[in-house]
Amino acid sequence: MPEQVLLEIGLALAIVAFAGILAARFRISIVPLLILAGMVVGPHAPVIGILDFRFIKSAPLIDFMGRVGILFLLFSLGLEFSVGRLLKAGRSILVGGSIYMAINFTLGMVLPIIWGWPLRETLVVAGLISISSSAIIAKVLVDLKRTARPETEMILGLMLFQDVFVAVYLSIISGLVLTGSASPPSVLKSTSLALGFMLGLILAGRKLAPLINRLFNVPSDEVFMLMVFAFLTLVAGFSETIHVAEAIGALLVGLILAETDHLDRIEHIVVPFRDFFGALFFFSFGLSIDPLTLGGAVGPVLVAVAATLTGNFLAGIIAGRMAGYSYRGCTNIGLTITPRGEFSIILANLAKTGGLLPVLQPFAALYVLLMAILGPLLTKESKWIYNQLAHLFGWPAWKEINKPDRTI
Amino acid sequence: MSIKETELPGIGKKFQIETRSGDKMVIVVHDDGRREIYHFDNNDLEESISMVTLDDAEARCVAGILGGMAYVPKALETVEMALDDMVFEWYKVEKDAQAIGKTIGDLDIRKKTGAAIIAIIKKDEKVLNPGPEEIITPGETIVVLGDRKQVKACKELILHGGI
């Protein structure tokens, strides 16, 4: 009955909103709470009166809205993404970013290989472990009032570097995972198709930028929005038909539109949609996970969390020192880059679509849950952590600042 | 004073300012319109000792105060805005100005001074790009465009009837 579906969606939104309130109250990221909320409800949950917490009838709809959420998340990433900006950020970011990705990606590859997971699963886990959540990190920096600190430039530069990595990696992975075959020729074919599609669209976008500029030059905000979203959904949908992840299609549309004159206007309209559907994406991901399956993932997740924290911290120290930051600044870099979020979940979702080992979803859920909570917490306590390490390694102490004497 | 501008992708823009007195200040303009002003320790340039958060409206208000726009001394009746060499200036026609009752054409402002009157703001109407038949009346505000010398000459002409 349609009325029931509407009520269920309303209930889901109420839960999502409640998670938001809790997140704001306890000053933590909303992402882990949304996943947690999604896991708590679901087919195993009770029905209380008219409130059906099982979400059976509305599950396909919530799932679909979550898919739309991915589109918007990647679309806004594409809008933000800029190779020109990255090059401008300078050599220290390129070097630091390479070190950072190399350390984390190697760790991400080694662990699943030790566990004996197959190749495609290994690659998904490697991506899942090495890609930080730029959304959580930006928020943490703002919340902790660290935007003015010198090393914040480096942290955000690393995120910029990582975005480029995400774009390339996602296209490779989607080629690998979505074709459903592991034979080298077909993998090569699908991966090159994905990369070719990407390059083709980017080139076409550049060539057609003046045309797109004119086409989207409509005074009505309403029509403008409809045109942008139609473009987004069409390209994403088309990507899917040629076995390129729809997320990549969305990313590409973002990249193309970022080159046009309408960037500011688009960024303005996309934010509320990204936040709304993005929240439902995390919720729907949680909903798709049966909490009882989490048990099997606990061991690997704990190892992965420990490895990620160590790897990120080391990478932060090395990259930071090379760029000439103080040990204090480097500690902040190494701790701030630890949260994981949207990309890890997107990869896990991709793995599900491609029919990879089902353990990947609870693994990703638990991993993100821990990292999204631990990361910001460690970032907040960076001063204490630094002082402990300073003791150990003989770094200069983080002295308490003498407040200037205000009395005259 | 030195100002260093850096982009903070995903957050906004950062302006690092070192004043002549040796103080270090960082202003972060967030994409959502918020502004933050950080004041750093003079002895430890990595640690901020105090900060202020302003929303967009507050920031504009503070900017106005700092820029001297919110409080304009009475002595300065005119405000200037420089565009390279060109200057806009606007001023009120005093009751005793010699040009009152004459038209712009009579005064031959364009030819005599080189400046152009681009608008006249009266009590209840605005005349954009007034023609030569426009009569100067007391109390109206005249907007003049020209370089500094021309604008000054135009002011003289209206006040004293000649240069």
Of A138, A328, A404, the CB nearest to B46: A328
pLDDT digits (tens, 9 = 90+) for B28-67: 999 888 999 999 888 777 888 889 999 988 898 888 888 7
Chain A environment of B17 (Cβ under 8 Å)? none
pLDDT at A83: 67
Query: Which pair of structure tokens corresponds to residue B83?
Result: 């565009």
Count the alpha carbons within 13 Å of A365 in the hemisphere toward its beta carbon.
Answer: 33
CA distance A249 to chain B (A): 22
- The reported pLDDT for the residue numbered B73 is 54
Residues of B in contact with A135 (CB under 8 A): 10
Which amino acid does the sequence have at B16? Q
Do B9 and A159 count as a contact with CB atoms less than 8 A apart?
A: yes
Residues whose CB falls within 8 Å of the CB of residue A250, separated by 6 or more in sequence, listed in order = A70, A71, A72, A73, A74, A75, A78, A232, A235, A236
Nearest chain B CA: its distance from A51 CA (Å)? 37
Distances (CA, A) of A280 to A20, A111, A275: 12, 31, 9
Q: Cβ(B104)–Cβ(B124) under 8 Å? A: no
Strand B12-18 and strand B2-8: pairing? Answer: antiparallel
The answer to whether B92 touches B139, Cβ cutoff 8 Å, is: yes
Extended beta strands in B31-158, E state? 35-40, 48-54, 80-83, 86-92, 116-121, 126-128, 141-147
Q: Residue written as tokens 């930080």?
A: A132
Residues of chain B positioned with their CB less than 8 A from the CB of A145: 36, 38, 48, 51
**In-domain check, residue A396:** no
Q: Which of A18, A116, A104, A62 is nearest to A282 (CA)?
A: A62
A contacts of B41 (beta carbons < 8 Å): 401
Tell me, yes or no, whether A68 lies in a domain.
yes
The answer to whether A159 contacts chain B (CB < 8 Å) is yes
Residue A274 lies in a domain: yes
Alpha helices (H) in chain B, listed in sequence order = 56-66, 104-107, 109-113, 148-160
Query: In this structure, what are the phi and psi dihedrals at residue A340, rounded to the nearest 5 degrees?
Result: -120, 150
Whether B77 has a pLDDT exceeding 70, the answer reads: no
Class of domain B80-160: alpha beta
The answer to whether the Cα torsion of A239, A245, A249, A250 is positive or negative is positive
Residues 83-102, chain A, touching B (beta carbon < 8 A): 85
Q: Is A138 on the interface with B (CB under 8 A)?
A: yes
Cα–Cα dist A390/A222, whole Å = 56
The Cα–Cα gap between A399 and A148 comes to 19
Q: Between chains, do B9 and A153 touch, taking CB under 8 Å as contact?
A: no
Residue B117 near residue B127, CB atoms below 8 Å: no
Contact B51 A147 (CB under 8 A): no
- Residue A216 burial (CB count, 10 A): 18
- Min Cα separation A271/chain B (Å): 11
Contact B46 A148 (CB under 8 A): no
Does the predicted interface ipTM exceed a cut of 0.90? no
What residue of B is the nearest CA neighbor of A137? B10
From chain A, the residues in CB contact with B28 under 8 A are 147-148
> What pLDDT does residue A315 have?
92
Q: What is the mean pLDDT of each run of 10 residues along chain A (408 residues)?
A: 78 93 87 90 80 83 92 87 70 87 91 90 92 88 88 89 84 76 70 80 84 88 93 90 82 86 87 91 90 87 94 92 90 93 89 86 92 90 89 75 46
> What would the pLDDT profile of A61-90 be if each residue is shown by its tens digit?
999 999 999 999 889 888 877 666 677 767
Shortest Cα distance from B50 to chain A (angstroms)? 9
Residues 6+ apart with CB under 8 A from A381: none
Length of chain B: 163
Taking the Cβ of residue A2 and every Cβ of chain B, the question of whether any pair is shorter than 8 Å is answered with no
* Amino acid A406: pLDDT: 44
Cβ–Cβ under 8 Å, residues B88 and B94: no
Q: Is A150 close to B28, i.e. CB distance below 8 A? A: no
Q: What CATH code is carried by the domain that includes residue A293?
A: 1.20.1530.20
The pLDDT of residue B6 is above 60: yes
Interfacial residues of B (vs A; Cβ cutoff 8 Å): 6-12, 14, 26, 28, 30, 36, 38, 40-41, 44-49, 51
A397, part of any domain: no
Instruction: Give this prediction's pTM.
Output: 0.74
Q: Answer whether A156 sits within 8 Å of B47, measured CB to CB.
A: no
Q: Which residues of B touch A142 (CB under 8 A)?
A: 11, 30
Q: What is the mean pLDDT of residues B113-122?
A: 87
The shortest C-alpha distance from A159 to chain B (Å) reads 9
Contact residues on chain B for A401, CB-CB shorter than 8 A: 41, 44, 47, 49
Chain B touched by A148 (CB under 8 Å)? yes
**Residues of the domain holding A165:** 2-391
Amino acid (one-letter) located at A301: V
> Which of B6, B25, B43 to mutate: most A Cβ within 10 Å?
B6
Coil vs helix vs strand at A131: coil
Shortest CA gap B8–chain A (Å):
6
Please name the residue of chain A whose CA is at the shortest distance from the CA of residue B16: A148
Query: Do the beta carbons of residue A72 and residue A254 sit within 8 Å?
Result: no
Q: Which among A85, A145, A149 is the nearest to B9, CB-wise?
A: A85
Domains contained in chain A, number = 1
A401, part of any domain:
no
Directed axis angle between helix A382-393 and helix A327-336, to 10°? Answer: 130
CB contact under 8 A, B6 and A80: no
Question: Given the DSSP bridges, would you call strands B24-30 and B80-83 parallel, antiparallel or unpaired?
Answer: unpaired
Pick the residue from chain A with its C-alpha nearest to B34: A142
Q: Is residue A30 part of a domain?
A: yes
Domain membership of residue A309 (yes or no) is yes
Residue among B34, B44, B51 with most chain A CBs within 10 A, to mutate: B44
Tell me if chain B has a CB within 8 Å of the CB of A69: no
Q: At what angle do helices A382-393 and A360-380 cross, to 10 degrees?
A: 80
Test B11 with A401 for CB contact under 8 angstroms.
no
CA neighbor of A144 nearest in space, from A275, A326, A336: A336
CB atoms within 10 A of CB B53: 13
